[in-house]
Structure 1
């Protein structure tokens, strides 16, 4: 009797069916961008705060990251004063530097008008943090910390 190598039709159908079931179960987990939005917004918030700090050092003047949830929810605006009379210009757009969070993300700030002096230290000189959380997934939150004295952002 001659022995043939390969798979039978039944084996191939079973493998294709199992692969289809696995894809149907795994795809919604990867397609949901809520987890990525939270991490992305936390990273962009860190970058915005670093930009404010570097602008303060480069221009030798105070720069504030203003978060006014009552007036403009889910935004952080960079200004040269605490009253936000003069805004920092975004070099990318040429307009005022405003960072807007995703709709599914909420931000709780320890200090809604955190500033940096000309040496990059936080104003007021105390540690601060921003908690970036996902509104849909209550268990996921990322904290952006600003250290006292040095202004180190992590």
Structure 2
């Protein structure tokens, strides 16, 4: 008896059908990069908050995280003064300019405190819970929340 090598037509059709079903389910998740931008911007915001806290501890003076959409939309700035004069900006070590985080156009950032500060011990000022919410513009169910604890300044 001769042994035939290869696949039967039925096996090939089943594999192609299963591959097509898996692609139909998985492809929309990978083609829409919106959730990746939302999570990426939330990560950048969290890093910016930590940088502000560490700068406040290192400099032993208050650092403010200013989120004011009326002045400059979709940005967060770091300053040593709540009014953020030109001489009071925190320097970004990457660019040697003012530390300004600009978010992508596909997200909306909301905050419970537009001028959150960190004192010389890294505690939140004012001493209350501050929350940030990075939301996808196309799908508001896709969001990432960031909290800054009141007494400790712990960011999560």
Indicate whether the TM-score tops 0.5. yes
> SS of the residue aligned with 2:93?
coil
State the superposition RMSD in angstroms: 1.7
| Structure-2 residue corresponding to 1:98 | 100
Quote the Cα distance in structure 2 between the aligned partners of 1:144 and 1:133: 11
Deviations 1:10-60, CA, capped at 9 Å, x for gaps: 633553464355435532320211111111111111110000000000011
Quote the Cα distance in structure 2 between the aligned partners of 1:13 and 1:42: 44
Quote the Cα distance in structure 2 between the aligned partners of 1:97 and 1:5: 65
110, 124, 127: which one pairs with 2:126? 124
Quote the Cα distance in structure 1 between the aligned partners of 2:29 and 2:19: 16
> SS of the residue aligned with 1:143?
strand
Shift of 1:138: 1.4
Once the two structures are overlaid, the 10-residue window that deviates more, 12-21 or 42-51, is: 12-21
Once the two structures are overlaid, the 10-residue window that deviates more, 20-29 or 101-110, is: 20-29
Q: How many residues are paired up?
A: 154
Unaligned runs of 5+ in 1: none
Quote the Cα distance in structure 2 between the aligned partners of 1:47 and 1:125: 20
* Runs of 4+ residues over 6 Å off in structure 1: none
Q: How does 1:14-25 map to 2 (within 5 A)?
A: 15-16=15-16, 18-20=18-20, 22-23=22-23, 25=25
Quote the Cα distance in structure 2 between the aligned partners of 1:142 and 1:25: 24
